[in-house]
Amino acid sequence: MTSEPAPRRSRAEDSAATVGDVAARAGVSRATVSYTFTQPNRVSRELRQRVLAAADELGYVGNDAARRLRVGHSLALGLLISSTSNPVYAEIAAGAEAEAAAHGRFILVANSDESLERERAYISFFESQQVSGILAIPVGDVPAELLELRRRGTPFVLAGVAAGPHSYPAISGDNERGGYLAASHLLAQGRRRLLFVGGAHPHVDLRLAGAKRAVAESAAPASLEVIRAQVQTAKVGEAVSRTLLERPKTGFPDGIVAGNDLLALGLLHGLILAGVRVPGDLSLVGYDDIEFADFAIVPLTTIRHPSAALGASAVRILLGIEEEQDTKGRFEPELVVRATSLPLAGNDRG
């Protein structure tokens, strides 16, 4: 592919119409066409209508590259996700996308698939695209590139909780409270030997902190063990269940709080297959209330939080329509009781 002769570009019908084409058709200058779209009041009603009609006839779309080159930033927002296998992220993305669409904006989704290298590449990509803001769902630390970008004028908002002592613009539900709700629920059922299984993510740490508080405040004596999972997938959940099953009966927990529903589903599957009765022998609470929680082998008790609303809110903050502090107190977590935590029911579930 060294030399393309390229004698095309007759501009007539084949390539997209430009301001010049519209201007010619409407019998005005290119400046007028531009003002018609960017500052309609700057143009008299008559010309405005002529321009709009001409644009419509030509199917004028406008070249965002040219626009961006001039004004310095795009209409798009970037969304940085670490994985698409977790439905929660899809839900946040859907919420963000709908909100963006309502404001004539668009979302560029980048899925880094847990790879730091790809994450960096995508931030670079967002910069080259001059997105007007970035919505990031952090895996852990906020990447340095994101801070650098912000220094250059591109803001970001985290959907979730950032690691470390710094405080970045972020919105999320109250994870500590969610963890507290989950553990309290188990304690109220009479469970005493609790286990928390979760990854090393900052928001999961908060859930753990909430669970710890519930145990500490408990009137009855209760214990809380912690098992760390590298990533919070169903596969890992099954693996954890296998290590649990190797234990003697005495060391077995009677209540589990999982860092998210995927993990919970994996745990549940592994335990049930091995003959553990849930909730007979053991109660289980997940986190997120993904759609499939209700369809699980035993429908999963979990903590619900409004992911889509959260994504929408993050977009509004990026667009400057909403202030971060206004979101405080919204997005309250809520306990959804299903079958994995019913206090001792017979085997005839179903």
Residues contributing to the site for DNA (CB under 7 A): 1-2, 4, 6, 9, 15, 18-20, 28-35, 37-39, 41-44, 46-47, 60, 62-63, 66-67, 69-71
Q: Which is nearer to DNA, 47 or 94 (CB)?
A: 47
The reply to whether 308 sits near a copy of itself by the rule CB under 8 A is no
Cα torsion 259, 260, 262, 266 to 10°: value is 40
Contact 261, 292 (CB under 8 A): yes
**Residue 230 touches which of a copy of itself, DNA, none (Cβ within 5-8 Å per kind):** none
Residues 269-288 that bind a copy of itself (CB under 8 A): 269, 272-273, 275
The reply to whether 159 sits near a copy of itself by the rule CB under 8 A is no
Residues sharing a CB contact under 8 Å with residue 237, sequence separation 6 or more, in sequence order: 197, 229, 258, 262, 263, 264, 265, 266, 267, 268, 269, 270
**Residue 19 touches which of a copy of itself, DNA, none (Cβ within 5-8 Å per kind):** DNA
**In the complex, least distance from residue 121 CB atom to DNA, rounded to whole angstroms:** 17
Helix axes 116-128, 144-151, angle to 10 degrees: 20
**In the complex, least distance from residue 29 CB atom to DNA, rounded to whole angstroms:** 3
- Establish how many alpha carbons lie within 13 A of residue 234's alpha carbon, considering only the half-sphere containing its beta carbon: 14
The reply to whether 68 sits near a copy of itself by the rule CB under 8 A is yes
Q: Measure the CA–CA gap between 151 and 155, rounded to whole angstroms.
A: 8
Contact 331, 309 (CB under 8 A): yes
Contact 148, 166 (CB under 8 A): no
Residue entry with tokens 């795009």: 74
**Residue 121 touches which of a copy of itself, DNA, none (Cβ within 5-8 Å per kind):** a copy of itself
The reply to whether 326 sits near a copy of itself by the rule CB under 8 A is no
Residues 13-32 that bind a copy of itself (CB under 8 A): 14-16
**Residue 306 touches which of DNA, a copy of itself, none (Cβ within 5-8 Å per kind):** none
- Establish how many alpha carbons lie within 13 A of residue 117's alpha carbon, considering only the half-sphere containing its beta carbon: 0
Q: Which is nearer to a copy of itself, 122 or 180 (CB)?
A: 122
The reply to whether 180 sits near a copy of itself by the rule CB under 8 A is no
Angle 317-320-326 (CA atoms, 0-180°, nearest 5)?
50
The reply to whether 234 sits near a copy of itself by the rule CB under 8 A is yes
Q: Measure the CA–CA gap between 260 and 182, rounded to whole angstroms.
A: 11
Q: Which is nearer to a copy of itself, 46 or 348 (CB)?
A: 348
Tokens matching residue 66 = 């040219």
Q: What does DSSP say about strands 255-258 and 283-285: parallel, antiparallel, or unpaired? A: parallel
The reply to whether 239 sits near a copy of itself by the rule CB under 8 A is no
Q: Is the peptide bond before 279 cis (omega within 30 degrees of 0)?
A: yes
Contact 156, 149 (CB under 8 A): yes
Is residue 16 classed as helix, strand or coil in its secondary structure? coil
Residues 87-126 that bind a copy of itself (CB under 8 A): 87, 90-91, 93-94, 97-98, 101, 106-111, 113, 118, 121-122, 124-125
**Residue 170 touches which of a copy of itself, DNA, none (Cβ within 5-8 Å per kind):** none
Residue numbers at the binding site for a copy of itself (CB under 8 A) = 14-16, 59, 61-69, 74, 76, 84-85, 87, 90-91, 93-94, 97-98, 101, 106-111, 113, 118, 121-122, 124-125, 127-130, 148, 151-153, 234, 265-266, 268-269, 272-273, 275, 291-292, 294-299, 350
